[in-house]
Amino acid sequence: MRRPILFALAIASFAGAGLAEVVYAPHAYASDAIDQSRADTFDKKMFMRPPGNKAFACFMRRYDAEHLARHPKQKAAAMKLLVAAEIAEGETRLSYSFHLGVNFRRRAGDFESSGYCNHATAEDDGQEIRFACGVDCEGGGINVALSKDDKSAIVRLERIVLWKNGKPDEKDETELAGAGDRIFRLDRVDAQECASLLTDSEEVAALREP
C-alpha cells in the first residue's frame, strides 16, 4: 500500500521534449528551492488569497469526443486536481499536497494518486514557478503551474502511478504516461468539486468551509 511521505522537489529538464520530470530530495522547504517572496506570490495566485493555515485549489476538465478524436494517443478522458496548503499541528510552516483523479477513455473506474509538493522553477528559463509534486515508492509525479490569467492549472508529467479510488493497493495500480498524456490544462472550479478526492471526513469538512 502506498502512503505519501514528504518530499522536497526540484525540476530537471526532460531531454528532447521541452518538458520536465520530477526529481526528489528529502526534507527541504519551499525557501530552499526559490526565494520565499516568489513562493508567497505563487501561493496567492494558486489559492486566490494568502493561504493562512489552510487553503485549497481545485481544477478539473472532462475531455469531449472531439478533443479525444484529435488526440488519439491521449489515455485520460477526465482529470481533477486538488492542491492543498496547510500548517499542520505543531508546525510553523506551510506544507503542500496534491490529490489527482483520473478517468481513462478505455478503462472503467475512477483512479487517483496523491503526494506532497514543493515550490520549484521551470529549468528551461527559471522564471515560471511551479509546484513539483511526487508520489512515494518511485510513483512519479506532476508539476503544476498556472495559466497567465490564473484561471487554469497547467499539469505536466512524465509518469504517475494511480490506483483505484480509495484502494491504494499495488494490485490495482496503473500508470498515466506517454506522449499523449504529458500536458493538461485544467479549469479552476469551486474547491467543493474536489471533495470526491478526499476520504477523511475532517478534510472534506474543511474543504467545504466558506
Which pLDDT score is estimated for 32? 47
- 37-46, 96-105, 195-204: segment of lowest average pLDDT: 195-204
Closest CA to 22 of 112, 144, 186: 144
Considering the entire predicted model, what is its pTM?
0.83
Residue 208 domain-assigned (yes or no): no
- For residues 15 and 91, the model is more confident at 91
Residue 210 domain-assigned (yes or no): no
Number of alpha carbons in the 13 Å side-chain half-sphere of residue 196? 15
Residue 1 domain-assigned (yes or no): no
Residue keyed to cell 493538461: 184
Residue 209 domain-assigned (yes or no): no
Q: Residue 64: is its pLDDT beyond 80?
A: yes
Domain hosting 100: range is 7-202
3-class SS at 191?
helix
Mean pLDDT of 172-195: 94
Residue 164 domain-assigned (yes or no): yes
3-class SS at 203?
helix
Which pLDDT score is estimated for 76? 97
Residue 60 domain-assigned (yes or no): yes
Q: Residue 204: is its pLDDT beyond 80?
A: yes
Q: Residue 205: is its pLDDT beyond 50?
A: yes
Phi/psi at 33 (nearest 5 deg)? -90, -45
The three cell numbers of residue 15 are 531531454
φ/ψ bin of 27: left (φ > 0), alpha (ψ from -120 to 50), beta (otherwise): left
Residue 103 domain-assigned (yes or no): yes
Which pLDDT score is estimated for 182? 96
CB 115 within 8 A of CB 135: yes
Band of residue 73 on the pLDDT scale cut at 50, 70, 90? very high
Domain count, the chain: 1
Which pLDDT score is estimated for 137? 85
Mean pLDDT of 37-54: 95
Number of alpha carbons in the 13 Å side-chain half-sphere of residue 201? 0
- For residues 139 and 209, the model is more confident at 139
Which pLDDT score is estimated for 155? 97
Residue 207 domain-assigned (yes or no): no
Which pLDDT score is estimated for 125? 63
Which pLDDT score is estimated for 4? 43
Residue keyed to cell 506570490: 41
The three cell numbers of residue 32 are 530552499
The three cell numbers of residue 168 are 491504494
- 89-93, 149-153, 162-166: segment of lowest average pLDDT: 162-166
- 50-54, 126-130, 190-194: segment of lowest average pLDDT: 126-130
